[in-house]
Amino acid sequence: MASSTATLPSKMKAWRYSEYGKSSDVLKLDSDVVVPQPNDDQVLVKVVAAGLNPVDFKRMLGMIKHIDSPLPMIPGYDVAGVVVKVGSQVKKFKVGDEVYGNVNETPLNHAKQIGTVAEYTAVEEKLLAFKPKNLSFAEAAGVPLATETANEGLERCQFSAGKSILVLGGAGGVGTMVIQLAKHVYGASKVAATSSTGKLDLLKSLGADWPIDYTKQNFEDLPEKFDVVYDAVGQCERAVKAVKEGGHVVTIVDGAALPPAFWFLVLSNGAVLEKLNPFFESGKIKPIIDPKGIFPFSQTKEAFAYLETGRVIGKVVISINPMR
């Protein structure tokens, strides 16, 4: 049984694909999708905004179809919205609460068929957190998967105050969060990060002490080595040359890990977001949304096309049921 105080529609609009391929070819707007019913441990969220991640278009291309859920599929991991219905075992949230989170506990193995690029989505209570009060829904939608990935990588490296870190791909969705968490949450002694020339000022603003222009400098040739190298772009072969003896190299790009580097898949957990909420609310860390990066629901295909360029600064977000 689930409780709700409002009459909900039985059908909704959602973008989905029924075959694998490029988003421009396979992604279609469907106005006749059944609104999901939350299980006992789930809430139904009216989606205000959805954040996109590279995994969304990689799934759509069929790159993980051997472990993916059956088609058809509604893409989207990240959500920010309002609870409109709660399952019978839900204790933390009530109808009307503003929440955010990554709706897939495991990112690849049988991820949900109904993602977040839809007017409603059902998600387990444990995967959600209260939306930081100072963030808009669009800003909050850009946080969950990238922030959980950044944080878990730092934890797995046993990163701690006084250590140094080099972030490869510092201007991307994960990289922008690694810089901020390492500097402002974990207390890094030095944060270096790579980007192209036009993004160096952004790296500085996020807390990077040493922005490195990868178009002019090879980071592995620098005389200084680092306690941790966080590879968000798939350059592990070079990354292992930049780490101190006994240090750690972590990559989030499948197939890139060479010893002593390791690769991991993040697990979604609302408790991680709750732990970091005070840092968002104090302004110590902030979501980075690409200047072109908030697209209306009707332009979801354009949002995917932009994401697929690989040139996004921070995150791309889709505004679905705009509130503020």
Which residue would you say has higher pLDDT here, 257 or 299? 299
Looking at residue 3, what is its pLDDT?
A: 54
Looking at residue 5, what is its pLDDT?
A: 47
Give the DSSP H or E segment for 16: strand 11-16
pLDDT above 90 for 101: yes
Looking at residue 191, what is its pLDDT?
A: 98
For residue 34, the cross-strand partners are 11
Q: What is the pTM of this model?
A: 0.95
Token pair listed for 4: 């709700």
- What's the pLDDT tens digit per position in 266-322? 999 999 999 999 999 999 999 999 999 899 999 999 999 999 999 999 999 999 999
pLDDT above 60 for 4: no
Token pair listed for 312: 């996004």
Looking at residue 6, what is its pLDDT?
A: 62
The answer to whether 15 and 303 are in contact (CB under 8 A) is no
Token pair listed for 254: 């499948």
The answer to whether 321 and 81 are in contact (CB under 8 A) is yes
Burial of 105 (0-12, 13-18, 19+ CB in 10 A): middle
Give the DSSP H or E segment for 150: helix 144-156
Q: How confident is the prediction for the chain on average, in pLDDT?
A: 95
Rg (CA), the chain: 19
CA–CA dist 259, 143 (Å, integer): 30
- What's the pLDDT tens digit per position in 140-198? 999 999 999 999 999 999 999 999 999 999 999 999 999 999 999 999 999 999 999 99
Which residue would you say has higher pLDDT here, 208 or 293? 208
CA–CA dist 227, 246 (Å, integer): 8
For 18, 172, 195, 311, the CA distances from 203, given in Å and listed in that order, are 39, 10, 8, 15
CA–CA dist 108, 54 (Å, integer): 12
DSSP 284: S
Looking at residue 7, what is its pLDDT?
A: 87
Q: Whose CA is closest to 266, among 303, 320, 230?
A: 230
Looking at residue 255, what is its pLDDT?
A: 76
Mean pLDDT (whole number) for 10-34: 98
Token pair listed for 65: 């179809």
CA–CA dist 172, 169 (Å, integer): 6
Instruction: Quote the percentage of the chain above a pLDDT of 70.
Output: 98
Q: Is 25 left (phi over 0), alpha (psi -120 to 50) or beta?
A: alpha
